[in-house]
Amino acid sequence: MNSLSEFLHMGGYGQYVWSAYGITFVAMLLALLIPVRQHRGLRKRLKKQLARQAKSKN
Amino acid sequence: MIMKFIHRFASPPFFYRFSAKAMPWFVGLFLLFLGYGLYGGLVVAPADYQQGESYRIIYIHVPAAWLSLFVYMVMATSAAIALIWRIKLSDVVLISSAPIGAMFTFVALVTGSIWGKPMWGTWWEWEARLTSELILLFLYLGIIALYNAVEDKRIASRAVAILTLVGVVNIPIIHYSVEWWNTLHQGPTVTKFDKPSIHLSMLLPLLSMAIAFKLYYGLALLARARNELLQRERNAGWVKEMLKDE
């Protein structure tokens, strides 16, 4: 366990190193999850629109 | 032959289907290179003899900064193609890349700032490298804002393409800023082709992280481009056909 706490300590720079990595991965994850969610919403909207159009034609 | 392939690839239904198949591959390869990069960079590589363990921020800071420039060059190329050959997909690539480029620029600035605090004693300094990178962030945000502000998306795409090409002047300024001006930011470590001043045990994970970030860009670009494409083509036959079949 000593080596793990040493690893996290980063020679006294732990707060800098880990906050930099944390912010980076949160930003990258968000920038990927947002378009994936948007894709689902967009398809749902388009499907509804298509159903409405089919209805109004009949 | 090549033009035929480009036209096929750039056709919206083909690209939409292709991107769905390609994305899992990008995820897998990204995780592979990320895994090696993080392990090699955070665990295996020795501490820096001057900066101690704090230098390990390099494994995200430098790839993010590289990508902030690379994404912009992809956008500028797309802008030129869009203006000259009017290939639909190039507009899509251009506008879909902008938020990803902005994110990488933001990450490069923030991680640089966090690294600067213990090493330089300050979060921020108005010097050439940092200022030109900040201008790059504003360029990305300006491109996104301009695209959203113009109602007619064909006009918006042209305006954005022109703005992107004008903004290219900033790219060499960022790249050479550490050589042209006497900056606080350190000079290049890796891109000196004669002899990189970095040990292999540090260089390999760094390159692996750079490849991982590039794969991430490919992945995020596909995810955004197919949304943009679907939105633009919502009245096209292939979209209706595809949605009906489900």
pLDDT for A3: 83
Is B227 within 8 Å of A43 when comparing Cβ atoms?
Answer: no
Per-residue pLDDT, B101? 98
* Average pLDDT taken over every residue of chain B: 91
Position B32 scores a pLDDT of: 98
Matching residue, tokens 């020795």 = B46
Does a structural domain hold residue B42? no
- Domain containing B88 equals 59-189+197-230
User: Is the model more confident about B224 or about A6?
Assistant: B224
Of A7, A24, A32, the CB nearest to B64: A24
Is A19 in contact with B114 (Cβ distance < 8 A)?
yes
pLDDT of residue B19: 92
Contact B54 A16 (CB under 8 A): yes
Averaged over B202-206, what is the pLDDT? 93
* A30 or B232, greater pLDDT: A30
- Given a contact cutoff of 8 angstroms between Cβ atoms, the answer to whether B214 and B14 are in contact is no
Q: Which amino acid is at A40?
A: R
Average pLDDT over residues B190-215: 83
pLDDT value at position B199? 84
Q: Are residues B91 and B82 in contact, defined by beta-carbon separation less than 8 angstroms?
A: yes
Total domains in the fold of chain A: 1
- Stretch B102-128: mean pLDDT: 93
B1 pLDDT exceeds 70? Answer: no
Give A7's contacts in chain B (Cβ within 8 Å): 42-43
Mean pLDDT of B90-99: 96
> What number is the average pLDDT over the span B221-241?
91
What's the structural domain count of chain B?
1
Predicted complex ipTM:
0.90
Residue B22 included in any domain: no
What is each CA distance from A21 to A27, B13, B224, in whole angstroms? 10, 38, 24
pLDDT value of residue B147: 96
Q: What is the pLDDT of residues B33-46, one digit of tens each?
A: 999 999 999 999 98
Q: Which domain holds residue A24?
A: 2-57
Give pTM, 2 decimals.
0.92
Average pLDDT over residues B58-76: 97
SS3 of chain B: helix, strand, coil, percent, to 5:
80, 0, 20
Residues B60, A43: C-beta atoms closer than 8 Å: no
- For residue B11, tell me if it sits in a domain: no
Q: What are phi and psi of B192, to 5 degrees?
A: -85, 105
Nearest Cα residue to B225 out of B92, B104, B94: B92
| C-alpha to C-alpha distance for B43 and B53, rounded to whole angstroms | 11
Widest pairwise Cα distance in chain A: 73
User: How far apart, in whole angstroms, are the C-alpha atoms of residue B122 and residue B115?
Assistant: 9
B195 falls in which pLDDT band (50, 70, 90)?
A: low
pLDDT digits (tens, 9 = 90+) for B155-177: 999 999 999 999 999 999 999 88
- Biggest CA pair distance of chain B: 63
Give the C-alpha separation, B157 to B225, whole Å.
14
**Contact at CB, A20 and B60, closer than 8 angstroms:** yes
pLDDT greater at residue A26 or residue B128: A26
Q: Report residue A58's pLDDT band, with 50, 70 and 90 as the boundaries.
A: low
Identify the residue with better confidence: B201 or B166.
B166
Residues of B in contact with A22 (CB under 8 A): none
**Which among B216, B244, B217, B242 has a CA at the least distance from the CA of B229?**
B242
* Per-residue pLDDT reduced to its tens digit, A10-51: 988 989 999 999 999 999 999 999 999 999 999 999 999 888
Q: Which of A16, A21, A32 sits opposite B118 (nearest CB)?
A: A16
pLDDT at B193: 52
- Sort out which chain B residues have CB atoms less than 8 A from A19's CB and list them: 114
B16 domain-assigned = no
Task: Give mean pLDDT, residues B3-21.
Answer: 82
Residues of B in contact with A36 (CB under 8 A): 223
DSSP B20-53: HHHHHHHHHHHHHHHHHHHIIIIIISPPBTTTBG
